[in-house]
Chain A
């Protein structure tokens, strides 16, 4: 089974802190994604990566950055956390079409910024 593991289920951080959310997948997937989930808004793409050291902005990249130094790991960084970044963060991975076509999700990190 594909496993996508997010480092924390729940996090509480203070405004202005630098926050790291880590995600690791064990299926040698090329693509990795970070989404933010808010009630009524569904999942919104923050960043995605289709290869090591490659990244593309999604729909809401402001206030976030990412790092992909190894194929299996994709980190989301909040440079200076703000209360409007309180949300559920979901990491996902997928292969190129031709293998499995769906995205596999981690269990999510619920981040609260106070």
Chain B
């Protein structure tokens, strides 16, 4: 069975500081990996995705993530947090059976 673990249900950073949101997955085969962002009372919006090829993936709003197969990790980073980054972030994996499994989410607070 697939699983996705997000370490830290709440993360607070100061405006301008580095954002690091952690994600680990369990998969017996290389999966497709995703990060989504959700603003209050909205659906999920894709930030970035890893399918094949380059392991460092750049997304929207200055976010990037690195796929590390040896660590089964796909951590999300942004060099400098902005107030508008405050939201809920979800890591997800797509299985060969075309199902998506999501982590429990990390709520990011940006302190002015």
Contacts and interface: CB of A to CB of B under 8 A. Distances in A.
A96 B98 contact: yes
Contacts of B92: 103
Contact of B43 (A31, A33, A106): A106
Chain A contact residues, majority secondary structure: strand
Contacts of A31: 98
Contacts of A104: 46
A40 B103 CA distance: 10
Given A40-B9, A101-B51, A102-B49, A90 B44 contact: yes
Contacts of B99: 33, 45, 48, 58
A45 B32 CA distance: 18
Given A102-B34, A108-B41, A33 B100 contact: yes
B67 interface: no
Contacts, number: 60
Main secondary structure of the interface of B (DSSP, over half): strand
A42 B32 contact: no
A86 interface: no
B100 A103 contact: yes
B43 A42 contact: no
A92 interface: yes
B25 interface: no
Interface of B: 9, 32, 34, 36, 41-46, 49, 51, 90, 92, 94, 98-105
Interface of A: 4, 9, 31, 33, 35, 40-43, 45, 48, 50, 58, 90, 92, 94, 96-97, 101-108, 110
